[in-house]
Structure 1
């Protein structure tokens, strides 16, 4: 029996979301996000986030991130992010492409997290040379991080405060936002706009949906039209957007998204405990959500792969692997992984 821990992008659609898709598939509906499901998004997300929220449904997280940053940054603007951020390492220059040349500036920090000091230094280094330099435009923070860690609320607040004090727009890449909220046990509002995020790329595809994401605006709602034009010009305004929006409504209904995320996080926690007890393997980062990074010998990881355990060998390494647990990961699959590691 093969067990797949490569990515939560490879999980199936949650049954509740699939059922909503079937409901949305009955009859005709207006096109280009003018359908009844898309028109309910603002109200539904405003209730979820406890503040007036404008919602732009979209099919991919890369598009959501790139459009968000292009909306608030001029071509000569600088966007600050962690050196391991998805927008910096895994989007093939999409933010720069959408932003007509905006520049991403990586900021170092342990365990996938930016801290206020290095951020302030990076901002300062971009100032003071007039038209010869880029203009600090935005800060993008990933929650949960690309290292599988989770920012505490105080960490987010301190980080965003540095940006906002400089008049810099604030964005959150929430590809695994549900896993972060489930781990923190707080409200979605607490770890987004209350901490200082003005925009959120709200991820759903990794946690039970099929090609369904949303770009949320908590402030500066007037920017929505600019974002929508970026969406249209980039080919991401789907004619049958009802299928994206119907998923998003099902996803947040009755706390489904958090139930799915809690399950994934719990499976990751079980495996992390096993790694901590292993005589050779060790955790590379603290485990905060549903990703577990394991440092082990190349031989050990090769033997694990030979036992039909699928995982992501981290680029540039033969002794570091990422294991991702999803909403559909079973107890049996996690036990199979632990048994295959031995020890």
Structure 2
């Protein structure tokens, strides 16, 4: 149905970045100790400690974003507690109840908020009734935020701090789903150390931004590390040939490749969003990073679907569509898609 060169369906559709593939090939020589005892892993840990300005942080690598989020949350809550997350968060809509499974049954309490973002008021409203039933109801557990949000929008550093302050005051730990955290850092022009302050655990994404398959669970408090190692093993996310995770993540962090790739993706999305507006698209959420949600004129959509891949989220006279730009997208490809839509 679609030309692979016009694939704007997902940043998961992108190839592996060349420096990361080269690092994998280089690591594929001779023996290396398994299960995270490889020589690359201490360098990964030290680099993330420096970037996050968390000198005591510990790092666990896993192969999937679902594994990173579900294990991170399992280390924060008890089965009788609840996790506060936005109604369209990834842990609610796209992880097949993995967070509930890995936490042993902890409930997700869904928080409202326009354009994928909860607000202090909607968070407080969601928290207010929790615990009122005593032993008959779930108890306060943890807060989970996503940046970039699932609507392609951003929380500013100040907005995140307002929310994490509420959770901290209530005694709740804080988790950041950072599958696209690189894109958020670039879009806001903020250091990742600013972005993660107020959180206890971060799922730091790599797969959507040029890695083959690696995500980092970054724990601010090293006291959680031993428990999380057991959880990772029991959750089938501890790789024996761990060097291939470590080598990916180290190459991703070297020379700020993670930011270089995110900047390319964001720039392509900005170009595409401007072009879509010019041909009559209505933005459902203001694009702020590398994802675009818009309603297309029917004729434009029908032309595009003959040769381009993207997601139609809702069928109508003006279909709701999602476009995602990855780090490989060029001005030439964006213009080719727009030319196809113009007819």
TM-score (norm 2): 0.96
2:11 equivalent in structure 1: 8
Q: Which string of whole-angstrom CA distances, capped at 9 and with x for unpartnered residues, describes residues 42-89 of structure 1?
A: 211111222222110110010010001111110111000010000000
Per-residue deviation at 1:264?
0.4
Report what 1:169 is aligned to. Answer: 173
1:42 to 2:42 alignment: no
SS of equivalent residue, structure 1 residue 239:
coil
Equivalent residue, structure 2, for 1:77: 81
The alignment yields a C-alpha RMSD, in angstroms, of: 1.4
The 8 Å contact of residues 271 and 331 in structure 2, kept in 1 or not, is answered as no
Secondary structure of 1:149's aligned partner: coil
Cα distance in 1 for partners of 2:181, 2:233 equals 25
Counterpart for residue 338 of structure 1: 338
Aligned: 1:327 with 2:335: no
Distance 1:283 1:67 in 2: 35
Match of residue 158, structure 2, among 154, 160, 185: 154
Say which of 24, 28, 36 aligns to 1:25.
Answer: 28
Q: 2:109 is paired with a residue of what secondary structure? A: strand
Partner of 2:217: 215
Closer, same or farther in 2 for the Cα pair 1:316/1:93, shift >3 Å?
Answer: farther
Structure 1 316/92 Cα, relative in aligned 2: closer, same or farther at 3 Å? Answer: farther
**Which moves more between the two structures, 287-296 or 261-270?**
287-296
Match of 1:301 in 2: 301
Please give the alpha-carbon distance, in whole angstroms, between the structure 2 residues aligned to 1:276 and 1:300: 12
Unpaired runs of at least 5, structure 2: none
The CA deviation at 1:316 is 6.7
Residue equivalent to 2:115: 111
1:298, 1:311 → 2: CA distance? 15
How far apart, in 2, do the equivalents of 1:62 and 1:111 lie?
A: 22
Structure 1 counterpart of 2:138: 134
Give the 3-state SS of the residue equivalent to 2:321 in structure 1.
Answer: strand
Which residue of structure 2 aligns with residue 265 of structure 1? 266
> 1:59 is matched with which residue?
63
Distance 2:28 2:314 in 1: 41
How do residues 195-214 of structure 1 correspond to structure 2 at under 5 angstroms? 196-214=198-216
Q: Take 1:222 and 1:65, find their aligned partners in 2: how far apart are those partners?
A: 19
Distance, in Å, in 1 between the alignment partners of 2:59 and 2:154 is: 24
Secondary structure in 2 aligned to 1:141? strand
Distance 1:256 1:281 in 2: 32
| Structure 1, unaligned runs of 5 or more | none
Task: Using the TM superposition, give the Cα deviation of residue 265 of structure 1 relative to its aligned residue in structure 2, in angstroms.
Answer: 0.1
TM-score norm. by structure 1 comes to 0.96
Show the counterpart of 2:311: 312
Which stretch of structure 1 is more off in the superposition, 106-115 or 124-133? 124-133
Q: How far 1:298 moved relative to its partner?
A: 4.3
Structure 2 residue matching 1:341: 3-state secondary structure: helix
* Partner SS, residue 75 of structure 2: helix
- In structure 2, C-alpha distance between the alignment counterparts of 1:82 and 1:8, rounded to whole Å: 22
Identify the range of structure 1 (30-39 vs 293-302) with the bigger mean alpha-carbon deviation: 293-302
| Alpha-carbon contact 2:300-2:342 (below 8 Å) kept | no
- Give, in angstroms, the shift of residue 297 of structure 1: 3.8
The CA distance in 2 between the partners of 1:287 and 1:25, in whole Å, is: 40
SS at match of 1:173: strand
Who is 2:242 aligned against? 241
